[in-house]
Structure 1
Amino acid sequence: MLFSKSYRFLTPLFIVMTTLVIIACSSDKFVPDGQYLLDKVELRSDRKDVNSSLLMQYVRQKGNSRWFSLFKIPLGTYAMAGQDTTKWINRTLRRMGEEPVLYDSVQARLSAEDLTVAMQNMGYMNATVDVDKKVKGKKLTLNYQLHPGDPYIIDQFNYDIEDSIIGKVLASHLNTDTKPPRQFTVTSLDDERKRLTHILNDSGFYRFHKDFIYYTADSTQGKQHVNVTLHLMKYVEHSEAEPTLHPRYIINNVNFIPADSTGFHLRKSVLEDNTLIEKGKYFSATDLQKTYNNFSRLGAVRYTNINFRELPRYDSLVIGKSFGYTTSSTHYLDADIQVSNNKPNTISFQPEGTNTAGDLGAAAVLSYQNRNLFRGSEHLSLEFRAAFEAIKGLEGYKNSDYEEYSVQAHLQFPRFLAPFVSKNFKRKSSATSEVSVGWNLQNRPEFHRRVFSSAWKYHWLDPNRHLTYDFDLLNLSYVYMPWISETFKHDYLDNATTRNAILRYNYQDLFILRTGFGLNYSWANQAFRAKVELAGNVLNGLSGIFNFKKNSEGKRTLFNIAYAQYAKFDFDYTKVLRFDERNALALHGGFGIAIPYGNSTVLPFEKRYFSGGANSVRGWSVRELGPGKFKGVDGRIDFINQTGDMKLDLNAEYRTHLFWKLDAAAFIDAGNIWTLRDYEDQPGGQFRFKDFYNQIAVAYGLGLRLNFDYFILRFDGGMKAINPAYTSAEEHYVLWHPNLKRDFTFHFAVGLPF
């Protein structure tokens, strides 16, 4: 009975989906006589090294879309409509659904031709494709049987460069024949054209493009073996012109032009430092792109336009003599850089709803931004925030209000600021520097808390390697507790029966001085993030030199305030496997560990891990899970104690597009948190290698997402499957003994979970 009651809410959904599947299977009324519904399209290859799934993009006609790659719900919705299109219900169902895909023999023939060409481009020059059809009733399954044959192999790769100057420029960049034979593919040949074109565009050949390069192939040496020659032609200005040496361009003058009458808001030195196009240097396409990139990073600049003007031939010869260039192929360019200014100052006001202290409240945020503080595109942002909540159900305290006030200031420099760094390095670096300072005041009925923070950070990009880096040179937090109520002290901090080491540590004054480094890699449907954070080592070194005093707990102090010391490591990896334009499988793994040592035996509360919630194991609410098999205090959620020093998250989510802006997902989550030490107030929470796999929680569920491209609203419902905090077998393996009230958790969030 428990099983049926807990899953009663799924019955209507199951009935609807089953009905739509049955209707989709009986959509023959929309298939005219003599035609067939294209039920399925398959690709099969004779060779294992030819991935047929990658060739599906060349198939012009595919079957109706499927939810989760299984159910033809859109077709079923369409099939529910009647033939009378004057009725609104029929028009609505057709609009929501998907019209049946009828087999088209012409599209099948064209698809076979496209597949053949695709395999030939991969080097299988003798490839063929057979089209097999299987008909059952009014449904047709189409199978493209791929016969690639043996690939063609390049024995020799030669170069024929007609331009003597280009030949000298490329001499050190040409691939030799010392490499082993490689497969003949159109992609690799085109990549070589692009590579040489890029080198020449960076060496002054402003008008060179890859169409000046072509190939010839000689296959007479043997079956499936070819000799390939790359030909690079001379420059031809137009169809009637004689071939000449390719013109090579040198930058003559660089001119900065304001886009409007207000002139430049930036200092001239800033314009010059962000411009890699320099007088006397050969034209470089890479320098041009980097110049665009540099100006796009400046908040004071709205847009940039760079034009090149070729000097008349006579002027080029005169300038060339002054530079010492007399070759007939040398030409000169003037670069005109037009810069448009952005609005420097903005002020905004934003009201918010809050739930910081457990009850609804209100907050207001006033923000000010200056995008050009010192006329160098320095970005200053100031934020003032005030919040208020009336706390209910809190007894034994004089006041029942929660107040919070904060001010944050950030100043970002669009360049790398550091001593002993050359000007040339700063110009070529894509790094930004940021200094920040903040003050946060919290007044609760139980205590008053003040947090001062300041930081010096660097952020830079490496787009060629798809990497971003973050480096916190110094990050200081000072937590100050000016007042704690006697009631709170008696009930939680001083009471021998409820005394908690973790709780006490987080209600003391504390210094956190840390450094950190983060790396993010994102490319081709996969992302990897890593972050390392070290705290307290600088202060510990100074303590050894200046012999800092110790407090009553034996912790070294600075200005009579203990400092935290720990090392924290976080790793996160996500990969998305796309099956078609509507279906994908997202796999995610995350691991983190933080080790308190030296001057700390407990991590600061802000640095501790928690599990559960919309981005973790979704069968639990945030901070409900762990550590280990810890069940909370008297079976209740414990905000402080349900935190840990180590975290593991494993997630698999099948994502599918439904219709309009609506997507769906089915997911399985696993993970937990653990402590590294055996804390008395967290029994069963310590990580032990021989036990941890038995303490991994598992959840499953379904989700709906409103995908508006620029943001996603997410609604996920998770059910517990394996609960490590149990008192009975039914509680442990809740997959077989589900209870909706106990095991179901609903989540609302913005953005994808990973």
Structure 2
Amino acid sequence: MAFEVEGTNSAGDLGAAASVSFQHRNLFHGSETFMVKLRGAYEAISGLQQGYSNDNYTEYGVESSINFPSFLFPFLAADFKNRIRATTEFGLQYNSQQRPEFSRKVASASWSYKWSNSRKSQHRFDLLDVSFLYFPWVSDTFKQKYEENNQSYIFEYNYKDRLIVRMGYMFNYNSAGERMANNTIKSNSFSIRAGLESAGNVMYAISNLTKQSKNSDGEYSLLSIPYAQYIKGDFDFSRNIVIDDKNAIAYHVGVGIAVPYGNSKSIPYIKQYFSGGANSVRGWSVRELGPGSFPGDGNYLNQSGDIKFDASIEYRSKLFWLLQGALFVDAGNIWTIKEYENQPGGQFDISKFYKQIAFAYGLGIRIDLDYLVFRIDGGMKALNPAYSSGKQRYPILNPNFKRDFTFHLAVGYPF
């Protein structure tokens, strides 16, 4: 049994979350691991326009999984299954979110395999992952805002019921293996994370072969629910270089791209990228940066994209007792593949994307408990891509603490 409490800060909106989990490591007396977790969260939302009935965000959810220490698949011989050194995991999740703008429910089920070639590498293959996004209620004020701005197509795609049927592969490698400690100053190491997933391909092929009719939005559906079709890839490289027993330099580079096609005109919101926050460019709050040179319009739902770039470098040093200090520089942004009216300047352009990379710098304090790291980071904007020229583009030369500083409280290292 485990219990966790956390504080949240989303673009200046404060909240709290709590979760309780239970785990049984020998459910059927064959080393099967069963887990169930309950989670709840609350957040006070500021800056809303008039016309909404409340100004808070509530969330609750439950997830469960059972892991079998063997490869399970129907119609295969037992000898073949025994030769494959993989574990099998089945999972179920349900999440309910209540916002002033809408109510959203997400139900999902998964079937995946995990295996390791060594203590340093891990593989995960999601054979089947099905998610159903259901919107039982959407505010008329929220809907009207999109219609008035001629953005009904964005509303239609992101705030209506949708089905995601995906499969994917994830690879993780850490050169330190099981010797890797939470205190990354202790050892030279590097890690690689790479993933690839796709959704909707089999269903689209069946819809074509059976000559299924499309809905009014030009989409194929399953049980009257449109399904998403896309491909998404991610890659992240991190390295830690030890200078001495008290000092180290760490850096990482991460990229990602998600491309909609076939049955989709856009990537489902829950699969899109965002920038800013405690694990991204720390001069901005979460979901406050981008896409591209888009300055934001007060609606965090518009600050998401299909392409992401992140890079950071940190100088980490032990101070005294359990305290560590850090100096960091971050860079990155997100972009959209297509040009959208509600995200002007957000489309990726090979000739100018490098001019839209944001930079930030700052200081951090970490409390290292070996099994857990509490992190406090303060980031300042250095280059703001929302401006093409002038003093506001280069806040590093004209710093304004109230305008450019962002505070982050998090658990664990940023990379």
The question of a shared fold, defined as TM-score above 0.5 by the shorter chain, is answered with yes
Q: Is the Cα–Cα contact under 8 Å of residues 387 and 404 in structure 1 kept in the other structure? A: yes
Q: d(CA) in 1 for partners of 2:261 and 2:336?
A: 13
CA contact (8 A) 1:451 1:477 kept: yes
SS of 2:343's equivalent? coil
Alignment pair present for 1:559 and 2:220: no
CA 662–476 in structure 1, closer or farther in 2 if over 3 Å, else same: same
Alignment of 1:561-710 (within 5 A): 561-633=225-297, 637-710=298-371
TM-score w.r.t. the length of structure 1 is 0.50
- Higher relative contact order (Cα pairs below 8 Å, separated by 6+ residues): 2
Residue 370 to residue 548, structure 1, CA distance change in 2 (3 Å): farther
2:186 alignment counterpart: none
Residue identity opposite 1:678 in structure 2: E
- State the alpha-carbon separation in 1 of the partners of residues 159 and 14 from structure 2: 24
How far 1:443 sits from its partner (Å)? 3.7
The alpha carbon displacement at 1:679 in A equals 1.1
Match of 2:171 among 495, 513, 519: 519
Which residue number corresponds to residue 502 of structure 1? 154
Q: Does 2:392 correspond to 1:723?
A: no
What is the Cα-based RMSD across aligned positions, in Å? 2.6
The answer to whether residue 364 in structure 2 is matched with residue 712 in structure 1 is no
Whether the aligned pair in 1 keeps the contact of 2:11 and 2:286 (CA below 8 Å) is no
Distance 1:428 1:598 in 2: 38
Instruction: Assess, with a 3 A threshold, how the Cα gap between structure 1 residues 500 and 625 changes in structure 2: closer, same or farther.
Output: farther
Query: Per the alignment, in what secondary structure is the counterpart of residue 116 of structure 2?
Result: strand
Task: Tell me the SS of whatever aligns to 1:741.
Answer: helix
Q: 1 CA distance for matches of 2:128 and 2:293?
A: 37
Q: Please give the secondary structure, in 2, of the residue aligned with 1:579.
A: strand
Provide the C-alpha distance between the structure 1 equivalents of 2:140 and 2:165, rounded to a whole number of angstroms.
30
Percent of aligned pairs with the same residue? 52
Q: 1:714 to 1:442 in 2, by over 3 A?
A: closer
Equivalent residue for 1:370? 24
Contact residue 357 and residue 389 of structure 1 kept, 8 A: no
Structure 1 residue 499: Cα displacement: 2.6
Question: Which consecutive residues of structure 1, in runs of 5 or more, have no partner in the other structure?
Answer: 1-346
In 2 relative to 1, CA 595–704 (structure 1 residues): closer, same or farther, beyond 3 Å?
same
Helix, strand or coil: the match of 2:28? Answer: coil
Q: What is the TM-score normalised by the length of structure 2?
A: 0.89
Secondary structure at the aligned position of 2:366 is classed as: strand
Structure 2: distance between partners of 1:406 and 1:706: 30
Indicate how the Cα distance of structure 1 residues 690 and 362 shifts in structure 2: closer, same or farther if over 3 A, else same.
closer
With over 3 angstroms needed to count, the CA separation of the structure-2 counterparts of 1:537 and 1:377, relative to structure 1, is same
In 1, distance between residues paired with 2:74 and 2:400? 63
Change in 2 beyond 3 A, CA 1:390/1:647:
closer
* Matched-pair contact (CA < 8 Å) for 2:366–2:376: yes
Q: 1:674-725: per-residue Cα shift (whole Å, max 9, x none)? A: 1111111111111111101111111111211111211111111111111111
1:438 is the counterpart of 2:93: yes
Q: Structure 1: how far apart are the matches of 2:9 and 2:312?
A: 29
- CA offsets 1:500-534 (integer angstroms, 9 cap, x no match): 54343211010000000011111050111100010
Task: Give the residue type in structure 2 aligned to 1:582.
Answer: K
Q: Residue type of the partner of 1:521?
A: Y
Q: Distance in 2 between matches of 1:446 and 1:666?
A: 39
1:59-70 matches, cutoff 5 A = none
Give the conservation status (yes or no) of the 8 Å contact 1:549–1:560.
no
* Distance across 2 between alignment mates of 1:608 and 1:450: 18
* Separation in 2, partners of 1:655, 1:679: 41
CA contact (8 A) 1:565 1:598 kept: yes
Query: Within 1, Cα distance between the matches of 2:262 and 2:122?
Result: 32
The one-letter amino acid of 1:461's match is: S
Structure with the greater alpha carbon radius of gyration: 1
Q: Distance in 1 between matches of 2:113 and 2:41?
A: 31
Secondary structure, counterpart of 2:232 in structure 1: strand
Q: Structure 1: how far apart are the matches of 2:89 and 2:137?
A: 33
Q: Which has the higher strand share?
A: 2
Structure 1's 743 and 531: CA in aligned 2 closer, same or farther, altered over 3 A?
same
Q: How does 1:414-453 map to 2 (within 5 A)?
A: 414-453=69-108
Aligned residues: 402
CA change 1:620–1:386 in 2 (3 A) is: closer
Give 1:601 shift: 1.3
Q: Judging changes above 3 Å, is the alpha-carbon distance between structure 1 residues 401 and 651 closer, same or farther for their aligned structure 2 residues?
A: closer
Amino acid in the other structure paired with 2:148: A
**What is the aligned counterpart of 1:743 among 393, 404, 409?**
404
Q: Which runs of 5+ in 2 are unaligned?
A: 177-188
Matches within 5 A, 1:366-405: 367-386=21-40, 395-398=50-53, 402-405=57-60
Structure 1 residues 725 and 399, CA gap change in structure 2 (3 angstroms): closer
Seen in structure 2, the aligned counterparts of structure 1 residues 673 and 413 have a Cα distance that, compared at 3 Å, is same
CA distances 1:46-66 after superposition (whole Å, capped 9, x unpaired): xxxxxxxxxxxxxxxxxxxxx
SS of 1:544's partner is helix
Whole-angstrom distance in 2 between the partners of 1:474 and 1:683: 36
| TM-fit CA distance, 1:563 | 0.6
1:416 Cα deviation from its structure 2 partner: 1.1
